Chains A and B, each alone.
Chain A
Amino acid sequence: MTCSEFLEILDDVIDESISTETRAELETHLRRCGHCEVVLNTTRKTIEIYRCHDIYELPSEVSDRLHSAIMDRCKQKNA
């Protein structure tokens, strides 16, 4: 496996949708290529950090206000 071939399957590797055969080729490549190993680990970490930290949180009081407004408008549609 070359570095370009690694990049082509990077998303599948992250999403854990590669075959056993490809996984073996990947592991051989990563043992030899520090750059691709860093790319894989840091890209995985990037996704994990964004998943674990909600940067646009909706405070409860805002959520309650918006929720009531939505339901009021839906009721008006029915009236």
Chain B
Amino acid sequence: MPRELLDKQLLGLHDRLLALGSEVQENLGVAAKSLTQRDMVAAHNIIVGDDWINEKWITIMHDCLRLIATQQPMASDMRFVTMVMQIAGELERINDYAKGIARITELLGKETAVPPTPQLPQMAELAQAMLRDALLAFSRRDDVAARQVPKRDDAVDALFNQVYRELLVWASEDPERWQVANYLEWAAHNLERAADRVSNICEWVVYTVTGKYKELS
């Protein structure tokens, strides 16, 4: 093994991306919970914490570029570094969705006329589980597992359509309700997009293992 330094740096990127992914996975759940429980402290923490996530994303990008410049990775190493950069970007965006949901928690504030939306925590749970499995597939470089994850996106989409319709019906009964319905639709949309981003992560895992990029969702 004449490339110990490169291997060490690649492993370091792997570990840090996984750590970032775990945080984002957690944040997605906390954000959704802040919404259903109207937990302003949790929402605030997510919003403030987004800067921290961005910081980590930029550091990973920077280290990838430095590794390319100093180590000249080739073939599967090069694909791995490309994947890390892409996945780090997807994670950063997923955290933006978490932050968006936390913002909506703040906007709803103490509003009492809020309909039950059991689909939202369900969507968050599904997206979180998808993200966890995508990160596992990344860590194990398991393209077979990575191909399976995006199939679960249909369930998220179904919940989204359901909550969207219900909110439409609920809001149409009283013009005063439009604002709140709009907020909740945005929260649902953020969760739906977060799951889409997980599919992108899986596509990069497949690319890294096989050398071929293929749309999975």
Q: Do they bind each other? A: no
